[in-house]
Chains A and B, each alone.
Chain A
């Protein structure tokens, strides 16, 4: 399961992901991290049965945790197959088939959210 962990650095820099691994004994796979001076966002993957424990521990450290889809989700009712998402995705998830339908290679998605903001039709989402 993919979890988006938001960290606010108040007191120094606590290595809360590492601490969570140590405390819970659960292996955490870091898929993407975006750390700035006062806050950070880390996308992690953990096995489903362990997710709750990891989540609870992270929250005790003061992090916000959100459950994400495994890949970007497209609402076919809203999508008009324009292709605006194609060039903004760093992972080349979107392309056209011969009939100009937009198609997704979801396995490549890293849930960065760029396409969600770019889609004029509100057809893409990351959150469950």
Chain B
């Protein structure tokens, strides 16, 4: 038994269609069975409201008199991409203001525009025969623009990996604040309400399909960038008219020490055409699994700490390594529900009808890592192997001598098994000497919280450790904690100074 799209649209137009949200669907299938649900339900609406960095808008500003060919352009000091035609430009949501930094960015410009606020547009150009003007500055409102078209390369992830942090320090990430020692878990996505979770084979969600986008009637362009339906991480490329959007469903955000992002409200109506669609849209949070990843590991392949369901994540608390750990949601489930409800109204009232994708999507696609023609250098390539170190039982006087002789400011402190148990600096030793404690053992003045690196670590990560902890050297240790060398800020400076580095 199947239902055609025409049949569904006819019911919508006659006002007889039965529309439910993806949250209601599991209960309906429980009650009526799959065949019953197929007969009863015509459209399932979905919704999600979360941070989607890969978003932005194209503008056409109209021509000034005399006209300008904008080579660089800014809206409220946020730079646009203007390497297209004279008065066309693209504003990305994560671009930061040149005067306010991460407190104001592209997302804030979009939110201000759709809230009806006036924006300062500035532009510059070298001037040409046909476009003689060199500079421009004007106040504009959204309705003054010829076009303001949101166009988002990657929205609406099917699901997200959750995040935690094994290190001793708080991490500020695009997944929010991650407390030290697995202190919390942060997750994103609406679970059973997420559009793509309800159509994992991408049979009904694809090119040309109408959607809710930040309050406007938008459209899916196709699969988004980095889409990976083969691993259940599909994404969508979407578009919609900024002039129809509402600040209720588009909000600028700033993540501490990360930067600006934009919360996008997005919902897709799914026509219930066959039993497979019934089954797919009846998914529950208990059935949607995701991995909790350790963001404490600074590489691309971060280890999975645990696999959990969205039901567990949404409960506010999960068990991790025998401890109760609290969870935080980055996206708003309340707003996701509002979007699914709003979409339900649109379809019920005939404002939106169903369309099948205009071309098929490849549901087996997976994402590839970057091809790097030059590998970032590793610590072992620049570390200093001749490292002066000291035993933990040695006295301060010996340490002072070694520091002087070794022309170094840091001494890794070793125990009997040659393992690094601390580090003493010239400062620690001088302090002890002033207090006349020259006969004390090194272990009494050393810092025991040693921040170290490994030979295989990328030098960029080592550089970040130095910077974050405001220190000038890192002992290089093997898996057993034995000393292999030392990496100093000076070694790094020599290397990084030579590279393009910002």
Pair from one complex: yes
Binding site for B on A (CB under 8 A): 80-88, 95-96, 99-101, 114, 117-118, 120-122
Is the Cβ of B254 less than 8 Å from the Cβ of A122? yes
> Given A80-B49, A80-B263, A86-B326, A118 and B177 touching (CB < 8 A)?
yes
- One of B85-93, B333-341, B397-405, B410-418 at the interface: B333-341
B253 touches A (CB below 8 Å): yes
Is the Cβ of B328 less than 8 Å from the Cβ of A83? yes
> Given A88-B177, A88-B184, A101-B334, A83 and B329 touching (CB < 8 A)?
yes
Q: Which 10 residue pairs across A and B have the least CB separation, nearest first?
A: A87-B184, A87-B326, A120-B253, A87-B328, A100-B334, A83-B329, A118-B177, A81-B334, A82-B332, A100-B333
Is the Cβ of B332 less than 8 Å from the Cβ of A120? no
Mask, B315-326, CB within 8 Å of A = 1, is 010000000011
Shortest beta-carbon distance from A78 to chain B in Å: 8
Nearest-CB residue, chain B, relative to A96: B316
A101 to B337, CA, bound (A): 12
Is the Cβ of B176 less than 8 Å from the Cβ of A118? yes
Shortest beta-carbon distance from B255 to chain A in Å: 5
A52 to B365, CA, bound (A): 67
Is the Cβ of A117 less than 8 Å from the Cβ of B256? yes
A43 to B316, CA, bound (A): 30
Chain A residues near B316 (CB-CB < 8 A):
86, 95-96
> Given A88-B177, A118-B256, A121-B251, A82 and B186 touching (CB < 8 A)?
no
A80 to B253, CA, bound (A): 11
Chain B residues near A122 (CB-CB < 8 A):
254
Chain B residues near A96 (CB-CB < 8 A):
316
A86 to B327, CA, bound (A): 7
A106 to B179, CA, bound (A): 22
Greatest chain B CB density within 10 A among A87, A95, A99, A122 is at A87
Is the Cβ of B184 less than 8 Å from the Cβ of A81? no
Is the Cβ of A120 less than 8 Å from the Cβ of B186? no
Nearest-CB residue, chain B, relative to A79: B332
Shortest beta-carbon distance from A105 to chain B in Å: 14
Is the Cβ of B328 less than 8 Å from the Cβ of A80? no
B330 touches A (CB below 8 Å): yes
> Given A87-B185, A120-B255, A81 and B327 touching (CB < 8 A)?
no
Chain A residues near B251 (CB-CB < 8 A):
80, 121
A100 to B263, CA, bound (A): 17
A117 to B179, CA, bound (A): 13
B261 touches A (CB below 8 Å): yes
Nearest-CB residue, chain B, relative to A118: B177
A86 to B332, CA, bound (A): 12
Greatest chain A CB density within 10 A among B183, B255, B326, B328 is at B328
Nearest-CB residue, chain B, relative to A86: B328
Chain A residues near B253 (CB-CB < 8 A):
120-121
Chain A residues near B256 (CB-CB < 8 A):
117-118
B331 touches A (CB below 8 Å): yes
Q: 11 new A-B pairs (CB below 8 Å) besides A86-B327, A87-B327, A120-B255?
A: A82-B329, A82-B330, A83-B328, A88-B184, A95-B316, A100-B333, A100-B334, A118-B176, A120-B253, A120-B263, A121-B251
A30 to B50, CA, bound (A): 40
Chain B residues near A82 (CB-CB < 8 A):
50, 329-332
> Given A80-B251, A121-B253, A87 and B333 touching (CB < 8 A)?
no
Instruction: Choose from A83, A84, A95, A121 the contact partner of B177 (Cβ within 8 Å).
Output: A84
Instruction: Choose from B179, B255, B329, B332 the contact partner of A88 (Cβ within 8 Å).
Output: B179
Shortest beta-carbon distance from A14 to chain B in Å: 22
Instruction: Choose from B261, B328, B335, B337 the contact partner of A84 (Cβ within 8 Å).
Output: B328
A95 to B184, CA, bound (A): 15
Chain A residues near B334 (CB-CB < 8 A):
80-81, 99-101
Shortest beta-carbon distance from A47 to chain B in Å: 35
Shortest beta-carbon distance from A77 to chain B in Å: 10
Is the Cβ of B176 less than 8 Å from the Cβ of A120? yes
Shortest beta-carbon distance from B230 to chain A in Å: 29
Shortest beta-carbon distance from B379 to chain A in Å: 31
Instruction: Choose from A81, A85, A87 the contact partner of B179 (Cβ within 8 Å).
Output: A87
B51 touches A (CB below 8 Å): yes
Mask, B253-288, CB within 8 Å of A = 1, is 111100001010000000000000000000000000
Shortest beta-carbon distance from B93 to chain A in Å: 13
Chain A residues near B183 (CB-CB < 8 A):
87
Is the Cβ of A120 less than 8 Å from the Cβ of B330? yes
Shortest beta-carbon distance from A25 to chain B in Å: 39
Greatest chain A CB density within 10 A among B50, B51, B184, B332 is at B332
Nearest-CB residue, chain B, relative to A85: B328
Shortest beta-carbon distance from A75 to chain B in Å: 12
Chain B residues near A120 (CB-CB < 8 A):
51, 176, 253-255, 261, 263, 330
A82 to B188, CA, bound (A): 9
A78 to B179, CA, bound (A): 24
A87 to B50, CA, bound (A): 18
A120 to B51, CA, bound (A): 10
Is the Cβ of A81 less than 8 Å from the Cβ of B328? no
Instruction: Choose from A84, A99, A118 the contact partner of B329 (Cβ within 8 Å).
Output: A84
A99 to B184, CA, bound (A): 23
A122 to B254, CA, bound (A): 8
> Given A80-B332, A100-B334, A122-B254, A87 and B186 touching (CB < 8 A)?
yes
Mask, B281-305, CB within 8 Å of A = 1, is 0000000000000000000000000
Is the Cβ of A84 less than 8 Å from the Cβ of B333? no
Instruction: Choose from A80, A88, A118 the contact partner of B335 (Cβ within 8 Å).
Output: A80
